[in-house]
Structure 1
Amino acid sequence: MSTGTPAPPPASPQPPTPLPPTHLPPTPLPPTAADPVLRGASEVVGGPAGRRLAGPGPWWARPLPVLLALTSVLVALGALTKHHCRARGWSTPDQFTHACYSDLPVVYTSSGLAEGLGPYADGTSLGQPPVTAALAWLVGLLAPDGTGADAQRGYFDAAAVVVLVAALVTVAAVAVAAGARRRWDALLLALSPLLVLTALVSFDLVGVALATAGLAAWARRRPVAAGLLLGLAVAARTYPLLLLLAIALVALRAGRRRAALTTLAVAVAAWVAVSAPVALAAPGAWSAHLRDWFGRPAGYGSPWLLPQLVERAGGDADATGLPPGAVTALTLCTWFAWVLLVALLVLWAPRRPRLPQVAFLLVAGVCLLGPAFPVQASLWLAPLAVLAVPRWREHLLWWAAEAASFGAVWLFIAGQSTPERALPPQFYALFLLLRLAAVAWLVVVVVRDVRSPWRDPVRGEGLDDPAGGDVDGRPDALVVRVA
């Protein structure tokens, strides 16, 4: 007969407890204290910021005024780089050899807007989502009549003001999403050469501003406002769909489905409210930007363009590379695989990834594997890269690759009309690969930080996810373990 004591009854499962709150001062961390590259560079001007600069300081030295002032300077520098085209008109090949090409005046005079047509009228060939098309038409109302140099110049000037406002909104939204402690991280965007090189190439920055403002609203726990802004962003550029997917994934892991569903529902409603009237009135014109995507050949910046460049380098001037159908199939298959991998990473990582990390991985994969990766598409990545990888070293490497690729693509395009001034295809292929490698390196850094959270500069400050909104500081509700 056993004389041991009976085993105690099994304990009832305990509900998950939130992560311990952090008690960091709300004062923004000086940039020289947050990043080793800036800390070393600051020795030139006396060393890192000390206790005298630890306080709030005068209003004009606080993060937001400084960030907005620097952003304005860089966008103005970008306008100066377009001076040759602005003075003489956007004509081929000058607009490429002087690297001052811009879709803004070129599309205005070639799409029918300059002739007084509406954004979706018969004879208009904008091929843009509704918000972008409407904005292009409204700006055209401020330009002189006609299709000459004066009309182009007037349109460009009016569009530059819109782009400047979009840049200011984007930088302010990044500062909000970064949180009070790391407000100065937005310097990585305010000082980014991408604002100089690509901000005035198109209206893409308007969609980026709406999308980033949506993330900032989510970070401030405003799911309805986040959904409204992200829905409008999808109606301006398609890529913000991936930001909604990122919100859904992190909310799924944290078990905070209600806020995510609210944001998704409002985003769908906002998109429908903007798109439905246009789709019903002019279905063909509204869907043009979607139809054109399918069956398109490989475009500039895409890895699927490399076979054509290799053929051209071998002496085949009429090389076509991969068939358009193959490009579409490869793009869709690799995108599907990439989204699955990112979703698995979100649910499998030892600690829930931060929302900007997930969003950056999704958008970077779409850019790297898409049928085209134009220079202005890097603006989609810029705010997300700041929030996901707040390290100056990685951004400096990326900026260098972007600048080199920016010059290379215009010289390569110029060669189609002036072969004697062309960049050989093998050199353009080299710069294309350099740019893809730089973005891929950012992806590697993000994945490394997700797998080893102590490497993440934000998590290293004791923060959880300043941009996470309703999931910030929440415990995991769903974790997938892969053997």
Structure 2
Amino acid sequence: MSTQTPDPADVPAPAPSVPPTRVDPLARAGSEVLGGPAGRRLGGDGPWWVRALPVSVLLAAVAFAVGAVTKHHCRAQGWNSPDQFVHACYSDLPVVYTSSGLASGLGPYADGVSLDQPPVTAVLAWLVARVVPHEVTVAAQRAYFDVAAVLLLLAALTVVVAVRAMTGRRRGWDTVLLAVSPVLVLTSLLSFDLVAVALATAGLACWARRRPVAAGVLLGLAVAARTYPVLLLVAIVLLAVRSGRRRAAGVTVAVAAGAWAAVNVPFALADADAWAGFAGAFLAQRAGYGSPWVLPQLVQQAVGASGATGLPGGAVVVLTLGAWVVWTLLVAVFVLWAPRRPRLVQVAFLLVAGCCVLGAAFPPQASLWLLPLAVLAVPRWRDHLLWWAAEAAYFGAVWAFIAGQANTDRALPPELYALVLLARLAAVAWLVVQVVRDVRHPVDDPVRATRGLDDPSGGDFDRAPDALVVRVA
């Protein structure tokens, strides 16, 4: 049997990328400020430096730098209350360093250290502390913040590269939605959450490239850094059930469990109480900022009730866990019922959005969990602009409200804070509605409406036939 090498002239050229200014009405209208829609040279036909990935990396670096500039007041004067809230430059990074015991040179789970963080995040916080002065001073806070900022910049760029790997050849310019997002500008330096987001997004990128073992390792480490990535594994399992492609999904879940155990078991054996501190903190918490469960307390404050405490802590935990279970079941039914198999990132976004909106707290940095998933699941500029506006408004409102707890002369009224909080939740709910609509009507999905694309981030699920579909009367 002989083989014949095909003539290069007979091999079809790869389909060109699709800049959003050609297919998105809002992006096209906005491009008029910069000279009009993208032409032939901005994309696959132009030099490498004007292609989607280099441009997105550059824009993300600029966005990160702008975010660092917004912390200048605190970096110069120190992170002191209520000043850090009045100037909206608060960050967990230096505050936790000087308040947790790390500044004394103690380990991540040593006696006297209170991080309440999963192991990967706790160890990372400790490693940064090892290279800065062990003292409770403004200079030590600044040094800790600067070192952490370098690591978080690398994490942000990793997220950009991973998202680009999942967009598919023709949708590469969707990555710009991530690079210019105010969510990245405002929240990337609030905590180490961006590291977990980078691990989780890189894990999904490996899944998209059909590397289940690498995906499992990265997703397992992501769960060991921040718990939410377990929902990405749930999304993979749900689509494995629908498509019948269970082998790769099983490998990824098993490897993820092994990676998580490899990180967690040594700490659990060394000091179980210290290791379980972050879980205990969840079970003991009351309703936090950003959560719908804090609204009763805001109502009490608005009507002038003395000693307003809102819902009891136990009730908040029960409501949160119950809401998460119900939402996960609803998403599972939707995945198995939808007329066409949803894309992986659509399912992941639905699960993570429910976790955020229904959680006991929804801090500003938790929006980073949603950012790469939203870019891939809902690549429409109109929808992102609505979400960005709500996130920016909430970012200012929450710090003003917290500052008002100590300085009533500059307080934000609880009813106004509640209104902005509801607007933020509504913006996330709007993105959820758009995902549901796109799944039910694939012709409206910008990705599936692009010729030749089914589920570019789906890995084994891409172009897979259905094995199980549930029909609900």
Taking structure 2 as the reference length, the TM-score comes to 0.96
Match runs of 1:223-242 below 5 Å:
223-242=212-231
2:283 is matched with: 294
Displacement of 1:31 in angstroms is 2.3
Question: Where does structure 1 lack aligned partners over 5 or more consecutive residues?
Answer: 1-22
Measure, in 2, the Cα distance between the counterparts of 1:56 and 1:134.
Answer: 45
Measure, in 2, the Cα distance between the counterparts of 1:451 and 1:465.
Answer: 15
1:470 equivalent to 2:460? Answer yes
Identity of aligned residues (%): 69
1:382 equivalent to 2:371? Answer yes
Measure, in 2, the Cα distance between the counterparts of 1:293 and 1:51.
Answer: 52
Measure, in 2, the Cα distance between the counterparts of 1:46 and 1:378.
Answer: 32
2:208 is matched with: 219
Kept in 1: contact 2:43–2:50 (CA 8 A): no
Displacement of 1:54 in angstroms is 5.3
1:104 is matched with: 93
Question: Where does structure 2 lack aligned partners over 5 or more consecutive residues?
Answer: 1-11
**Deviation by residue 1:403-455 (Cα, 9 ceiling, x = unmatched):** 00000000111111111111110110011001000000000110111111111
Question: Which of 408, 429, 437 pairs up with 2:426?
Answer: 437
Measure, in 1, the Cα distance between the counterparts of 2:139 and 2:45.
Answer: 47
**Deviation by residue 1:255-275 (Cα, 9 ceiling, x = unmatched):** 100000000000000000011
Measure, in 1, the Cα distance between the counterparts of 2:47 and 2:13.
Answer: 22
2:318 is matched with: 329
Question: Which of 43, 56, 66 pairs up with 2:32?
Answer: 43
Measure, in 2, the Cα distance between the counterparts of 1:276 and 1:85.
Answer: 38
CA distance 1:301–1:24, change in 2 (3 Å): farther
Measure, in 1, the Cα distance between the counterparts of 2:436 and 2:115.
Answer: 38
1:447 equivalent to 2:439? Answer no
Kept in 1: contact 2:53–2:175 (CA 8 A): no
Measure, in 1, the Cα distance between the counterparts of 2:92 and 2:123.
Answer: 15
2:357 is matched with: 368
2:471 is matched with: 481
Displacement of 1:55 in angstroms is 4.1
**Deviation by residue 1:73-127 (Cα, 9 ceiling, x = unmatched):** 1111111000000000000010000000000000000000000000011111011
Kept in 1: contact 2:242–2:466 (CA 8 A): yes
**Deviation by residue 1:104-155 (Cα, 9 ceiling, x = unmatched):** 0000000000000000111110111000000000111121220110000000
Letter in 2 for 1:39: R
1:172 is matched with: 161
1:9 is matched with: none
Displacement of 1:65 in angstroms is 1.2
Measure, in 2, the Cα distance between the counterparts of 1:51 and 1:117.
Answer: 57
Letter in 2 for 1:127: D
1:33 equivalent to 2:19? Answer no
Question: Which of 53, 72, 93 pairs up with 1:64?
Answer: 53
Q: Which moved more, 1:44-53 or 1:205-214?
A: 44-53
Letter in 2 for 1:450: V
1:318 equivalent to 2:325? Answer no
Measure, in 1, the Cα distance between the counterparts of 2:263 and 2:45.
Answer: 42
Letter in 1 for 2:107: G
Kept in 1: contact 2:40–2:46 (CA 8 A): no
1:12 is matched with: none
1:158 is matched with: 147
2:63 is matched with: 74
1:149 is matched with: 138
Bigger Rg, which one = 1
Measure, in 1, the Cα distance between the counterparts of 2:163 and 2:137.
Answer: 38
Measure, in 2, the Cα distance between the counterparts of 1:459 and 1:55.
Answer: 20
Kept in 1: contact 2:42–2:50 (CA 8 A): no
1:210 equivalent to 2:194? Answer no
Measure, in 1, the Cα distance between the counterparts of 2:285 and 2:15.
Answer: 50
Letter in 1 for 2:471: R
1:3 is matched with: none
Taking structure 1 as the reference length, the TM-score comes to 0.94
Q: Which moved more, 1:318-327 or 1:383-392?
A: 318-327
Kept in 2: contact 1:25–1:181 (CA 8 A): no
**Deviation by residue 1:349-404 (Cα, 9 ceiling, x = unmatched):** 00000000000000000111110000100000000000000000000000000000
Match runs of 1:334-413 below 5 Å:
334-413=323-402
- Say how many residue pairs are matched: 461
Displacement of 1:295 in angstroms is 3.4
1:200 equivalent to 2:189? Answer yes
Match runs of 1:83-102 below 5 Å:
83-102=72-91
Question: Which of 405, 421, 443 pairs up with 2:410?
Answer: 421
